[in-house]
């Protein structure tokens, strides 16, 4: 039976905030934030993760606001909870809300949508290097070999980061953090100069490169950190990827959709580009997905953002969004209800 955690249940005069599904790792961090809603709103959290929309809709009956944790809101569910219910504010547990909710439909329905910003800069940047180190040092495979009694050095010779060039596509909070780590490893760092404030280059020590093809062609490692929005969807094209030189390593911990659909898989099929991905066109991946069978590829299940520090800051911002909504203020608003 699903555990239900509630606060101020007797305060029926207060609006109701419902979290109809929650990731296990978020339960304690977000509980620690609920006191900030004292005398502002009641909270009802179902301590079980599900993406079953019939279940979500049932749990959201009588809700005034919704906390979303790790599942997609279909257009049908969005219409159900806004038109047939009372939900007029949705707070998403992350930055890339456009991948999970139809923002244009939310705007039509006059539902406020909020997200969290920069909560996972360090988490995603660190995961970027976890993926990169797996490509250059193959620690996971070597661990298996040693435990299997294989002490042979075959495959154990790695690549060195110091002296190599990191090319960053997307020099925001995460990209800037990646740049700092790369420089600490002795790498030269360059970044695509696409609507990036000059201070980002100054702060990160990155060299601006105006032409994306030039950045891709002259880098030893390409790391993607663009947010997903209407302007960035498919912005990295097949023509851009054609400029990858054999042996260039590609890391994507941003969103799969910022790369032209099908372009990355087609380029990887040539077999000369080591790649590590944390994001995909369809999640979760199935074992028969073609991307799983690209030789040498490293894949993780969209976990770059999941660290203790990121959960703490993420949940703080989620509750801050709720407080602002009920106070008639704005905080991390992506779509306004007005």
Q: What is the pTM of this model?
A: 0.88
Q: Which of 221, 155, 152 is nearest to 186 (CA)?
A: 221
Which of 6, 104, 239, 283 is the catalytic position? 283
* 302 classed as catalytic: yes
The C-alpha torsion from 270 through 275 and 280 to 284, rounded to 10°, is 110
What's the half-sphere exposure (Cβ side, CA atoms, 13 Å) at 137?
A: 10
**What is the reported pLDDT for 155?**
65
The C-alpha angle 8, 13, 19, rounded to 5 degrees, equals 50
CA distance 43 to 37: 8
* 86 classed as catalytic: no
Contacts of 121 (CB under 8 A, 6+ apart): 173, 174, 176, 177
Q: Which of 96, 72, 239 is nearest to 172 (CA)?
A: 96
Is residue 47 within 8 Å of 76, Cβ to Cβ? Answer: no
Q: What is the pLDDT of residues 25-53, one digit of tens each?
A: 999 999 999 999 999 999 999 999 999 99
Residue 138, pLDDT > 70, answer: yes
**What is the reported pLDDT for 154?**
64
Which of 117, 302, 306, 313 is the catalytic position? 302
Q: What is the pLDDT of residues 292-310, one digit of tens each?
A: 999 999 999 999 999 999 9
Which of 44, 200, 255, 267 is the catalytic position? 255
Domains contained in the chain, CATH given = 4-119+308-335 (3.40.50.720), 121-299 (3.40.50.720)
Q: Which of 49, 52, 53, 4 is nearest to 22 (CA)?
A: 49
**What is the reported pLDDT for 95?**
87
* 217 classed as catalytic: no
Task: Tell me the backbone φ, ψ of residue 84, rounded to 5 degrees.
Answer: -95, -15
Is residue 63 within 8 Å of 18, Cβ to Cβ? Answer: yes
For the chain, what is the mean pLDDT? 95
Residue 17, pLDDT > 70, answer: yes
The C-alpha torsion from 160 through 163 and 169 to 172, rounded to 10°, is 100
Contacts of 212 (CB under 8 A, 6+ apart): 169, 192, 194, 236, 240
| Mean pLDDT calculated for residue range 46-75 | 94
| Mean pLDDT calculated for residue range 166-192 | 98
Q: Kindly indicate the confidence band of residue 85, based on its pLDDT and cuts at 50, 70 and 90.
A: confident
| Mean pLDDT calculated for residue range 91-115 | 94
């Amino acid at each position: 039976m699903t555990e239900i955690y509630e606060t101020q249940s007797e305060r029926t005069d207060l609006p109701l905030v419902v979290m109809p599904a929650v990731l296990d790792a978020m339960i304690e961090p977000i509980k620690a934030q609920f006191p900030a809603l004292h005398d502002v709103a009641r909270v009802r959290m179902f301590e079980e993760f599900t993406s079953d929309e019939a279940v979500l809709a049932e749990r959201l009956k009588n809700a005034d606001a919704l906390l979303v944790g790790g599942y997609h809101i279909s257009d049908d569910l969005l219409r159900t909870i806004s038109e047939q219910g009372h939900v007029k504010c949705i707070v998403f547990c992350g930055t890339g809300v456009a991948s999970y909710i139809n923002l244009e439909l939310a705007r039509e329905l006059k539902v406020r949508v909020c997200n969290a910003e920069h909560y996972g800069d360090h988490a995603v940047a660190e995961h970027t290097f976890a993926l990169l180190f797996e490509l250059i040092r193959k620690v996971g495979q070597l661990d298996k070999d040693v435990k299997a009694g294989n002490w042979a050095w075959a495959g154990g010779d790695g690549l060195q980061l110091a002296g190599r060039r990191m090319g960053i596509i997307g020099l925001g909070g995460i990209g800037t953090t990646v740049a700092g780590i790369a420089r600490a490893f002795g790498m030269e760092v360059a970044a695509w100069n696409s609507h990036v404030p000059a201070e980002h280059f100054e702060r990160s020590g990155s060299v601006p490169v105006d032409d994306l093809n030039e950045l891709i062609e002259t880098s030893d490692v390409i790391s993607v950190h663009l947010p997903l929005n209407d302007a960035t969807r498919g912005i990295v094209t097949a023509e851009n990827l054609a400029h990858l030189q054999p042996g260039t390593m590609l890391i994507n911990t941003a969103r799969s959709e910022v790369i032209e659909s099908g372009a990355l898989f087609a380029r990887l099929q040539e077999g000369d580009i080591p790649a590590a991905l944390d994001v995909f066109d369809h999640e979760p991946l199935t074992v028969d997905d073609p991307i799983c069978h690209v030789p040498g590829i490293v894949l993780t299940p969209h976990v770059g953002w999941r660290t203790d520090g990121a959960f703490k800051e993420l949940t703080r911002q989620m509750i801050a969004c709720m407080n602002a909504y009920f106070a008639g203020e704005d905080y991390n608003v992506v779509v306004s209800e007005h």
